[in-house]
Amino acid sequence: MTAFVAACVQLRSGLDRRKNVAAATALIEEAAAQGACFVSTPEMTNVLDKSAERLFSHLDGEETAFEIGTFADLARRLNIFLHIGSMAMRTGERRAANRAFLFKPDGTLAARYDKIHRFDVDLPNGESWRESNVYDAGADALIVRTPLAAFGFTICYDLRFPNLYRTLARAGADVLCVPAAFTKQTGEAHWRTLLTARAIENGAFVIAAAQGGVHEDGRATFGHSLIIGPWGEIVAEADGAEPGVIFGEIDPARSAEARARIPNLALENAIRVRTVS
């Protein structure tokens, strides 16, 4: 494996799936034109809508969703690995999956990943989110081994569950992907800190494409897409919440080097808890 250029596409997805896909396509094309061979988009690339009624009035399942063919054709045309950070996909009358897709340069689908941890929280500013009301939880962690690197896939709220990333790193992931639609409030507080921690503690690159700005459904997301190196250094960061593209060089050898310098993955011991009162 040799070094390659990766890109994060930052979006501000709205209610219209076709408009969202068109906006993502333009930025993916820009990324490929500037040399990226792995391009990642944010969580909910195809639609961001907190109204379940409105969402299910037009949402399709994977077998009929136009997005699948569009992004497959795009990956083939641009000859890139295209990671669609996630899309809403109908799985039942009132149920959906928050699902990531990785398309290979020949346009075939390499893998899909369903978000494991759902964002069910009440925030201090009065925001309340219940993703479990709409989205089913995934069950399996995912690594995809490619000629570029071994990629571990996660989505947004997964970031707050470090054991998932530990599991991926110990299974051989060189690069951890964290597409997200972090709220502005939680992003300002924790986004960079959590991503940097996941990179350092696992000796892995982190690629985190984000949604940013005020969306049509009224939510505000943080933006600041990031690419972080395995020593915790910021390789690239989006300047704010505007849509755009950032680029970074990914060298899997640097992940191996970081893990050799600090061999915590190899030296981790099983822990038994004793409670004394």
Q: What is the pLDDT of residues 47-75, one digit of tens each?
A: 999 999 999 999 999 999 999 999 999 99
- pLDDT score of 38 more than 80: yes
> Alpha carbon 1 to chain centroid distance?
22
- The per-residue pLDDT for range 156-186, each reduced to its tens digit, is 999 999 999 999 999 999 999 999 999 999 9
Look at residue 159 in the predicted model and tell me its pLDDT.
98
> How does residue 119 score in pLDDT terms, banded at 50, 70 and 90?
confident
**Catalytic residue selected from 8, 156, 177, 184:** 156
66-72 long-range contacts, Cβ below 8 Å, gap at least 24? Answer: 66/17, 66/18, 66/21, 67/17, 67/21, 68/101, 68/109, 70/21, 70/25, 71/21, 71/101, 71/103, 72/103, 72/107, 72/108, 72/109
Tokens of 261: 């310098």
Active site residue 156: yes
- Rounded CA separation 270/71 (Å): 43
Cross-strand partners of 98: 88
List the alpha helices (DSSP H) in the chain: 17-33, 52-56, 66-78, 162-170, 184-186, 192-202, 252-261, 264-267
Position 276 scores a pLDDT of 98
pLDDT tens digit string along 4-35?
Answer: 999 999 999 999 999 999 999 999 999 999 99
pLDDT of residue 148 exceeding 90, the answer is yes
- CA dist., res. 260 & res. 83, Å (int): 29
Q: For the ranges 66-75, 203-212, 248-257, 262-271, which has the lowest average pLDDT?
A: 262-271
**Domain positions in the chain:** 4-267
To the nearest 10°, report the CA torsion of 152, 156, 161, 165: 10
Is residue 43 among the annotated active site residues?
yes
| Closest of 74, 120, 71 to residue 100, by C-alpha | 71
Domain 4-267 sits in CATH 3.60.110.10: yes
**Residue from 8, 37, 104, 115 carrying the catalytic annotation:** 115
Give the pLDDT band (50/70/90) at residue 127: confident
Per-residue pLDDT band at 122 (split at 50, 70, 90): confident
Looking at residue 160, its amino acid is R
SS3 173: coil
Give the pLDDT score at 128: 78
The single residue of 8, 37, 43, 131 carrying the catalytic annotation is: 43
User: Rounded to whole angstroms, how far apart are CA atoms 16 and 228?
Assistant: 32
